Amino acid sequence: MKFLALHENAARGTSDFPIELYYVDRSHPRYEMPFHWHLEYEMMLVLSGSFSLSVDGKTKTLHKGDTAIISAGAVHGGVPDNCIYECLVFDTSRFMESSSALLHRKYCDFFDTDTLIYPFFEKGTHCNKLICQMFDVMDKRQTGYEFFTVGLMWQLFGQILYDRSYTVTDMSERRNAKSTEQIKTVLNYIRKNYASRLTLADLADVLNLSQEHFCRLFHSITGKSPIDYLNYYRIECACELLSSSQKSITEVAYSCGFNDLSYFNRIFKRYKKVTPGHYQKTMLAKKTE
């Protein structure tokens, strides 16, 4: 079992079994989930507490036992509340390549970008039970678990097809998809440049939009203002450094795009409810336990 990767382009599993299980609790530096996307599908299971998950602008609070499936390329993120959760990230295209010719020919289009799977499955539903079984099998990794995992994955997608728990995008959804693609461009820009000085004008210029239009667009997908999200992302990156290095608070602040230490301390405490120094001390102490 691995911790959730820092960025969305991490390798998943192995070349012949491209699926990875991640466990996330409060001690994890990426306990919160900044908005991101990846080319693989992702499943999520809430083990305790609750998690407010947003997928392409749709938000739902998941509770213990609830699950979600996030389509490839979907912009997603969320906020945990006293939550422990697990994620499975897997590459369906790789599994399709090794599947029978019938599956590949008949259902390959199901996994394209025009198909939107309903993302949320409450505890007790058929798809929820299948997802929970996948997590259980991957967690225990007993002899033959690969067969069970792949079998459950195809059974899940078969159930989604049978229940028609998906839609094929219409014109209005394509307009929303365009907005999502625009936000992906900005999120990628932030990921690459968060350590540099960035203004609202800089971010709006990425999409050649007015600042007002850009703010409305960004908020419609993420639920945050661009600058609020930028600060949020920088703090999450700071948490990664504070929990994995002996860098000073000042070094961490400047490494994450903050040029004012007092401002960094204030923003950090706003998001994490503790000072950076207290956070670093706590996280490094847990690593020695």
* 1 inside domain: no
Q: Which of 137, 168, 199 is the last residue of a domain?
A: 168
Whether 10 maps to a domain, the answer reads no
Tell me the CATH number at 233. 1.10.10.60
In a domain, 4, yes or no: no
Domain span including residue 31? 19-168
pTM value is: 0.79
Query: Would you write out the chain's pLDDT as a tens digit for each of its 289 residues?
Result: 333 343 455 556 676 788 999 999 988 878 889 898 888 899 999 999 999 999 988 899 999 999 999 988 888 999 999 999 999 999 887 777 666 666 767 776 777 656 778 999 999 999 999 999 999 999 999 999 999 999 999 999 999 999 988 877 654 555 566 788 899 999 999 999 999 999 999 999 999 999 999 999 999 888 899 999 999 999 999 998 998 888 999 999 999 999 999 999 999 999 999 999 999 998 888 776 6
Q: How many domains does the chain have?
A: 2
- Asked if residue 146 is part of any domain, the answer here is yes
CA-based end-to-end distance of the chain: 18
Residues 23 and 164 in one domain: yes
d(Cα 128, Cα 223) in Å, to the nearest integer? 26
CATH number of the CATH domain containing 60: 2.60.120.280
